[in-house]
Amino acid sequence: MSGLAEVFAKAKADNRAALVGYLPAGYPSRQGCIDALLAMVAGGVDVVEIGLPYSDPLMDGPTIQAAVEASLLGGTTTADVLATVRAVAASGAPTLVMTYWNPVERYGVDAFAADLAEAGGAGVITPDLTPDEAGPWLAAATAAGIDPVFLVAPSSTAERIDRVARVTRGFVYAASTMGVTGARSTVSGLAESLVHRTRLATDLPISVGLGVSTAEQAAEVGAYADGVIVGSAFVRLLLDAATPEAGVAAVAGLARELSVGVRAGRPAVV
């Protein structure tokens, strides 16, 4: 059983959803990002997503784009991303990289998979890579022992969901909307239907991302999903913080609130 599988199994045994937290590597600095991610884990984040900064982040909204741009201007490299993975994975939290496909292809598919595994990484989320074009990546991930995570969306057909489910390991990432990332006042009503449709195709855990920013929303999503993914809300706290230390404290506080939320979404087992 992989580290991801263990975390989701434990969350299920505890009658709750797992909390997945995202930050882009290198923001507000290399060490600042590591400090913030470790604070999130201490606050209750179960699984960590580390974004690999990319110059054309089509799926990301303005909040994450602003942090990614600052990270790139600061000189963040793929090697820095792997170093961040190493530091955070040492905490014991399964740590994934969220990346567009071009940086992996430029680094070298086999080399990226092997180097990520060596750094302690658990898997990779590839939002712009379709299963139909993922043959080399699937082979490299299998050889390295890491989990390839693919996405389904409200527009996904039953055939597409089935195809994603057959090649994904760890968990299926269910994008709650057709838009870009970003905190929202409400979570799309399409998310619950998408989770139910995906369950028809797989026994893998299903995690919902795009839009969750509060404990109440985490409880709402955690009532039907196996994982709740939060990214922009954490990034926004770092962007708005007066100092790096204040940012670390703020993301730790949000992690604690969200951790309570994912535990509140389901009725108690008696």
Domain boundaries, given as residue ranges, for the chain: 3-260
Catalytic residue among 14, 35, 46, 49: 49
Kindly report the pTM of this predicted structure: 0.93
pLDDT in tens, the chain (270 residues): 678 999 999 999 999 999 999 999 999 999 999 999 999 999 999 999 999 999 887 778 889 999 999 999 999 999 999 999 999 999 999 999 999 999 999 999 999 999 999 999 999 999 999 999 999 999 999 999 999 999 999 999 999 999 999 999 999 999 976 444 444 444 557 889 999 999 999 999 999 998 799 999 999 999 999 999 999 999 999 999 999 999 999 999 999 999 999 999 777 755
Question: Is residue 94 left, alpha or beta, with left meaning phi > 0 and alpha meaning psi from -120 to 50?
Answer: beta
The CATH fold of domain 3-260: TIM Barrel (3.20.20)
Write out the two tokens for 94: 């399964």
Can 49 be counted among the known catalytic residues? yes
Catalytic, out of 6, 14, 35, 60 = 60
CA angle 122, 126, 129 (to 5 degrees): 140
Q: Determine how many CB atoms are found less than 10 A away from the CB of residue 8.
A: 25
Which amino acid does the sequence have at 12?
K
Assess whether 245 carries a catalytic annotation. Answer: no
